[in-house]
Amino acid sequence: MKKLSVSLMMVLVSIVAVAQGHWREKIGDEWFNKYGIHNLTVGNKMPDIPFGKILNNTTGKTHFSELKGKVVILDFWGTDCATCIANIPRMEELQRQFGDKIQIFLINTNESEEEINSGGARFLKARHAKDLKSASTLPSIVLEKTLSSLDEYYNSKWAKLWTFRGIPFHVIIDKNGIIRSLGGHEGTYPQKIQDIIDDKDVYSMNDINMSPNFGFGKSRRPYYEYLGNMTDIPVVYGAFFSAYNNNLGRFSLVSAKDSITKTTRKSYINYPLLNIFEHSSLGVQVLEQIERKHIVYNSGGLEQFIILPIAADTARITNNFSRLANSFVLSGSDLHAEVTSDDILKASCCYEQILPLSTSIKEQKDLMVKDLNGYLYSKLKLTAAIQTTTLPCYILTKRGEDKVSSKTPEDKSKNIEPAEVKVGKDVFIKYSNYGLRYLFHDIIGEYESGKRLSKIMYHNRMAEAKPFLIINETGWPDLKPLNMMIPKDLTSMDDLRKLLNQYNLELQVQDRSLDFIAFSPASN
């Protein structure tokens, strides 16, 4: 039975390879045809190469063959990749969760230990560490010496296995040394790891390293032409949707003009439905109010401004769960703390709109709403429309003498990098010539930043009648350059309010009316 399973897997791998070959020829992505085509893929045997220089090698192993019997996860990362850095604690937690059943390695193929220690300030600061060795408990493979040229990288042992145009990139290898999953970090999560440990089949979602990119192709043909034999009859008006296409990387092409067919085209490949709504007239109207109503803090994009009914399957609209404005998204149990490749597959689709060149931008975006509502109805029996809603917001106003204005003219504001300053035992962040909107985003941070105030704003969104937006009603431009000293670790919005009072600024909770995209049952 085991032999039959292995044989079947090899047949499936061959079928996938043939399919990808067809897509590779169709798309004509030069980078992928030169580099990505040589990458090891699912079903390949992991070669027995030496690890090279490795820090925190608690395994005591020096070659892959010595890890037979364990599931091995390779996490390729870099110090200039914020997502990579944010993902390291999650990988450490997975190692703790599965113990000696798995072994995770961090691999940096571009930087040596010396380069990371001297030039990786953002990484080391995020990890509260003085050097790479103390930055993580996981074994960390690095270059043995600094690369002298790009050619040296392409000739390295790692580049001969995988060449990247995007990180993080994860490789999961089963107990028998067979590659079972490749792609972005979303494809590495507990259930999938357990399934690989148990020798079950798993789905491997390709990323931009493992698939040709639709937007980088030579031909620039419409997406629909790649799906079937329709090239002889050009489409001059229409729109269509398809499911997630694992043969292509995520890409959007928002204004492709064809002088022969006299059409303009928008293509969204493997995009979550809500991200496509963002480009429609509904999304434009909602997001334009950020400037129009002077919203200087909101910790997300369109996800902040949607309303969903209780029974809605949120995961089929977006996979960006941490940004959902949950005071209005009354969702069920489908929200995860962590986005997986399954979530991305569930929320994403391919959409293409083809219209006559004479169609105005407004008409294009209005027609997108009709297309998207048709697709939304077919999936969830919902329809989307603008709904004006009154909700509590933090309102910023000024009182008395101006104590914060920069003397630098607004048009020369460069958002000078904030500097850490010690005053006695207290630590402050000094903001010089810093735009008002950027100041609030830096003080509060995004949810993923881990800052205390960002968590407060996030939990406000999760509750009824709690403010999670800051609106500037000082009369100042939203990017007005300011000079301020802010304590490094503000612990509450009350602390922020008291601090702003010292600068003759008020931050009060008041109701305001804002536009939201409301997803409602179609029968209503």
Of 2-6, 32-36, 257-261, 423-427, the one with minimum mean pLDDT is: 2-6
How much of the chain exceeds pLDDT 90, in percent?
Answer: 37
Q: Is 342 within 8 Å of 187 (Cβ atoms)?
A: no
Chain-centroid distance, C-alpha 158:
25
Question: Based on the number of CB atoms within 10 Å of its own CB, is 260 exposed (0-12), middle (13-18) or buried (19 or more)?
Answer: exposed
Smallest CA-to-CA distance from 486 within 438, 416, 418, 407 is with: 418
How far apart CA 313 and CA 324 sit, in angstroms, is 13
Beta pairing partners, 19: none
Smallest CA-to-CA distance from 20 within 306, 249, 201 is with: 249
Q: What is the pLDDT of residue 42?
A: 92
Q: What is the pLDDT of residue 8?
A: 40
CB atoms inside a 10 Å sphere around CB 520: 15
Q: Is 482 within 8 Å of 434 (Cβ atoms)?
A: yes
- 207 pLDDT band, cuts 50/70/90, is confident
Please compute the mean of the pLDDT values over residues 233-255 and round it to a whole number. Answer: 85
Please compute the mean of the pLDDT values over residues 435-464 and round it to a whole number. Answer: 72
131-190 pLDDT, tens digit per residue, is 888 889 999 998 877 776 667 777 778 888 988 888 999 999 999 999 999 999 999 999
How far apart CA 52 and CA 206 sit, in angstroms, is 27
Smallest CA-to-CA distance from 382 within 324, 333, 329 is with: 329
How far apart CA 261 and CA 357 sit, in angstroms, is 9
Q: Is 29 within 8 Å of 217 (Cβ atoms)?
A: yes
Of 222-226, 471-475, 511-515, the one with minimum mean pLDDT is: 222-226
What is the Cβ-side half-sphere exposure of residue 194, based on CA atoms within 13 angstroms?
5
Phi, psi of 66 (to 5 degrees): -75, -10
Superfamily of domain 30-198 in CATH is Glutaredoxin (3.40.30.10)
Beta pairing partners, 73: 104, 172
Indicate the domain borders of the chain.
30-198, 390-520
One-letter amino acid at 168 equals: P
How much of the chain exceeds pLDDT 70, in percent?
Answer: 81
Smallest CA-to-CA distance from 72 within 209, 227, 182 is with: 182
Residue 472 has pLDDT above 80, yes or no: yes
* DSSP label at residue 373: H
How far apart CA 127 and CA 136 sit, in angstroms, is 8
One-letter amino acid at 441 equals: H
Question: How confident is the prediction for the chain on average, in pLDDT?
Answer: 82
- 508 pLDDT band, cuts 50/70/90, is very high
Q: Helix axis angle, 452-462 relative to 436-444, nearest 10°?
A: 90
Of 7-11, 223-227, 401-405, 427-431, the one with minimum mean pLDDT is: 7-11
One-letter amino acid at 8 equals: L
How far apart CA 275 and CA 281 sit, in angstroms, is 13
Q: What is the pLDDT of residue 3?
A: 39
Smallest CA-to-CA distance from 273 within 323, 317, 306, 322 is with: 317
